[in-house]
Amino acid sequence: MAIEGLAGAAGIGPAAIESMRARVESLVPRGEAAQGGIAGNPHALLGGGPRTPDFGEVLSQALGSVTELQSASKAKQMDLMMGKDVAVHDVMATASEAGIAVQLTTAVTSKALAAYQEIWRMEI
């Protein structure tokens, strides 16, 4: 590992950098280091721990949850229209819950898009 470019940066010498690198390598298990190191598991530096889901997984789960709420609401509405024994307040509560989930999803999407646009406008 080339550390010559870092020597002297912020008062850190080559020996200190090499010591830090050795410490980090000692914390990451060998099998995990060979399979992508800490990139696949950020908790590896803290002595292991469960793998945290990435942003895509969390987003997929959240959208799946919204879809399930909408499907449940539609099913209860259809049951009510078909004359099945469904309480009207239950149908309304489920419809409200699905509506709020959609509004929240829309708000989060808008905020994420605004953040992306703000980052895009930043000068480097």
Task: Please state, as a whole number, how many other Cβ atoms lie within 10 Å of the Cβ of residue 121.
Answer: 7
pTM of the full structure: 0.55
pLDDT, tens digit, 9 for 90 and up, residues 16-36:
666 666 666 665 555 544 455
Q: Is 17 within 8 Å of 3 (Cβ atoms)?
A: yes
User: Exposed/middle/buried for 76, CB within 10 Å: 0-12, 13-18, 19+?
Assistant: buried
The reported pLDDT for the residue numbered 47 is: 55
Local confidence band at 114 (pLDDT 50, 70, 90 cut-offs): very high
Whether the per-residue pLDDT at 95 is higher than 60: the answer is yes
- What is the number of residues in the chain? 124
The reported pLDDT for the residue numbered 106 is: 92
d(CA 63, CA 119): 24
d(CA 23, CA 8): 20
